[in-house]
Amino acid sequence: MPAEKDVVKELKKLGNKVLEDIEKGENPNIEIPIRALSNVVFDKKTGQIILGDKTSKRYYFNVAHAKKFMQTLLVAAFCKSLKDEKIHASIRDMYYNLKRTLPNSDENIFDEQSESDPIIVDLEVAIDILRENLNLTTDRKGIVSGNVIIQDRGDSIDWSKLGSGGWSIPSTVDEIDFKKVDAEFALVVEKNAGFERLHEDKFWQKQKCILIGTGGQPSRGTRLLIQRLNKEHGMPIYVLTDSDSYGFYIYSVIKSGSISLAHVSDRIATPEAKFIGLTVSDIFDYDLKKMTIKTKEVDIKRAKELLNYEWFKKPKWQKEINLMIEKGIKAEIEALSSRGLKFMSETYLPQKIKKGDFLD
């Protein structure tokens, strides 16, 4: 996490740059990396989907730029005030807070939230600071349990003592302090139901791990948490999803980031994450054939797209995806329950971990 003063420093730098332009009598401008697909690349070295180095300039004296220029500075000023007051706001709160009519005009600062949302991303890339560090919250979704004690907003929270509930992962994950992390790996489960089953079986206790439920595509906060556990605490990350194109894609987003959030991959992706299952091979290895679902046209179309993504161009992945296409089947995590409700926690996962049977 960038220190608080650095965030404010970057915001001030942006403002000072504009002031200097004015003092020099130049057309005030802000340089913003381009976020179009044409500037998104897969960086093989870091294993992340990132922005390339193309940038564009947003000018004050330019009829096509002037409004967005004003909006960008207002959003930056809003974030500065959040930092000063030490409070957080959602991007919708921000939209309403800034929505007003300019004096002596009919011009609104923003008419729709669809106008203010991209300006936040512009600011994120322009000063290279996550919106979470600009005190803008994002929607939360995940849950976590495990032998971990954190300090957050003055509270000491023991993730191993939260009953059946677990800790609801906020978007402000960058602000928590890890006081104790006593685990050998973190298991990230796509489905909350899978989290509940494993949580009830005390999987995290027996396997000495941290258990994270994402409830589908993980929220930004959950991705940040996964990265912090990996980077700061050396936690291996194992991802468990359904054996289908959507599950494989969730894994790839955790590992390599996504095209739409390419500008923050270095902050929220975890290239060291590994896929523990369900693989298509697992269906055969663990006798789940009768529990599969026939793929639909859309599954096959998506699978063929995955085959062409740089980050899936690894022999093991190509084999798995091709096997899915060839057999025309997919399977849900819960298919493992056909072998007994505790089969996942007591047999399947321990076996895969012991054998180191992961896809990378």
Footprint of a copy of itself (CB under 8 A): 87-90, 92-97, 99-101, 137, 139-140, 143, 150-157, 161-172, 175-176, 192-193, 196-197, 200-201, 290-291, 332, 334-338, 340-342
3-state DSSP assignment of residue 12: helix
Give CA separation, 260 vs 73, 257, 354, in Å: 23, 9, 36
Q: Which is nearer to a copy of itself, 14 or 331 (CB)?
A: 331
How far is it, in rounded angstroms, from Cα 260 to Cα 49? 10
Residue closer to a copy of itself (CB basis): 49 or 169 = 169
Tokens of 234: 């050396």
User: Closest approach of Cβ 98 to a copy of itself, in Å?
Assistant: 9
**What is the C-alpha to C-alpha distance for residues 81 and 79, in angstroms, rounded to an integer?**
5
309 in catalytic set: no
In order of 83, 169, 185, the CA distances from 230 in angstroms are 27, 16, 9
The Cβ of residue 65 has, within 10 Å, a number of other Cβ atoms equal to: 18
Q: Are 280 and 323 in contact (CB under 8 A)?
A: yes
Which position among 96, 238, 249, 286 bears the catalytic label? 96
Spatial neighbors of 197 by CB under 8 A, at least 6 apart, are: 337, 341, 344, 345
Residue 351: count other Cβ atoms within 10 Å of its Cβ: 12
Q: How far is the CB of 257 from a copy of itself (least distance, A)?
A: 24
> What is the rounded distance in angstroms from the CA atom of residue 81 to the CA atom of residue 4?
13
Distance CA 195, CA 133 (A): 29
**Measured between alpha carbons, how far is 151 from 158 in angstroms, rounded to an integer?**
9
Q: Work out how close the CB of 47 gets to a copy of itself at its nearest, in angstroms, rounded to a whole number.
A: 30
For residue 278, is the peptide bond before it cis, meaning its omega torsion is within 30 degrees of 0? yes
Tally of CB atoms within 10 A around 296: 11
Q: Could you tell me the smallest distance in angstroms from the CB atom of residue 351 to a copy of itself?
A: 19
CA distance 10 to 332: 46
Q: State which residue, 126 or 144, has the beta carbon closest to a copy of itself.
A: 144
Shortest distance in whole angstroms from residue 23 CB to a copy of itself: 33
> In terms of CB distance, is 112 or 305 closer to a copy of itself?
112
Least Å distance, CB 204 to a copy of itself, is 13
Tokens of 47: 């294993």
Which positions ≥6 away from 307 have C-beta within 8 Å? 318, 321, 322
**Separation CA 68–CA 71 (nearest Å):** 5
**Which residues are registered as beta bridge partners of 359?**
275
Residue closer to a copy of itself, measured from CB, 128 or 201: 201
Please check whether residue 7 is in contact with residue 83, taking contact to mean a CB–CB distance below 8 angstroms: yes
Q: Rank residues 21 and 334 by Cβ distance to a copy of itself and give the closer one.
A: 334
Minimum CB separation from a copy of itself for residue 163, in Å? Answer: 3
CB-nearer residue toward a copy of itself: 57 or 92: 92
Residues with catalytic function: 96
